[in-house]
Amino acid sequence: DGGITQSPKYLFRKEGQNVTLSCEQNLNHDAMYWYRQDPGQGLRLIYYSQIVNDFQKGDIAEGYSVSREKKESFPLTVTSAQKNPTAFYLCASSKGRQSVNTEAFFGQGTRLTVV
Amino acid sequence: KNEVEQSPQNLTAQEGEFITINCSYSVGISALHWLQQHPGGGIVSLFMLSSGKKKHGRLIATINIQEKHSSLHITASHPRDSAVYICAVRKVPGINTPLVFGKGTRLSVIA
């Protein structure tokens, strides 16, 4: 079955440590996105990539980094520079540039807790 | 001011009731999405629409482009409909531009 896989589902890290969240898709989608969700707030865009080896900052990119070396994979690193990293992180993907209106597919999310 | 506003924020209904969730937006869009998020956190796409009305089972979504407003209706609601419903828009020009999300409406359907 095609879909998006995020791992792990729950992640605990000590303050000051970098941590990488995994996102893999087998939908052959060109575009991939990372969002952050906090209680009472809508999803906010961290980074997105429309094609391999290219990505753009979203609204809240500070303290995060990404790479897009393969079409299937878009890992997100939460660095020690992110002041409030505890949150729920969602990865999404959609079809390529030639598609104007495309459905978005979402992973199951990773809940990161920094202690 | 948020570009996408949803109302109500929270909604409690009795099983069988007809439910309406509203979404207003203030930007030009190429499409509007309705999404469902269950307690586990994963999100499922319910509808994507750019005009008119779509129906899937007990769910109906409508959009009025001139008024920049969309509604999600649930007929004969059931406890399994309990979830957070999220409205999201794709701003013009629309080619894989990231979605902009409302804050969601938390629905609880009581048996």
pLDDT digits (tens, 9 = 90+) for B3-59: 999 999 999 999 999 999 999 999 999 889 999 998 878 899 999 999 999 999 999
Nearest to B98 among A33, A90, A98 (CB): A33
Nearest to A104 among B95, B99, B102 (CB): B99
For residue B39, cis peptide bond before it (omega within 30 degrees of 0): no
Residue range A47-96, pLDDT digits in tens: 999 899 999 999 999 999 999 999 999 999 999 888 899 999 999 998 86
Joined together, the tokens standing for residue A114 give 């920094």
Q: Is the pLDDT assigned to residue A12 strictly greater than 60?
A: yes
Q: Is the pLDDT assigned to residue A98 strictly greater than 60?
A: no
CA-closest candidate to residue B24, choices B38, B7, B37, B40: B7
Looking at every residue in chain A, the average pLDDT score rounds to 90
- Output the CA–CA distances (angstroms, integers) from residue A112 to A5, A14, A18, B9, in the order listed: 16, 11, 12, 25
User: Residue A101's pLDDT is what?
Assistant: 58
Quick one: which H or E segment has residue A66? strand A64-66
For residue A85, cis peptide bond before it (omega within 30 degrees of 0): no
**Neighbouring C-alpha atoms within 13 Å toward the C-beta of A115:** 4
User: Residue B104's pLDDT is what?
Assistant: 95
Strand partners, B49: B32
Residue range B64-106, pLDDT digits in tens: 999 999 999 999 999 999 999 999 998 887 566 788 999 999 9
pLDDT band at A103 (very low <50, low <70, confident <90, very high): confident
Angle at alpha carbon of residue A35, lines to B66 and A66, rounded to 5°? 130
Burial of B54 (0-12, 13-18, 19+ CB in 10 A): middle
Contact B96 A88 (CB under 8 A): no
- Using alpha carbons only, how large is chain B's radius of gyration in Å? 13
A 68-107 residues with CB < 8 A to B:
88, 90, 92, 94-107
Phi-psi region of B62 (alpha: psi -120 to 50; beta: other; left: phi over 0): beta
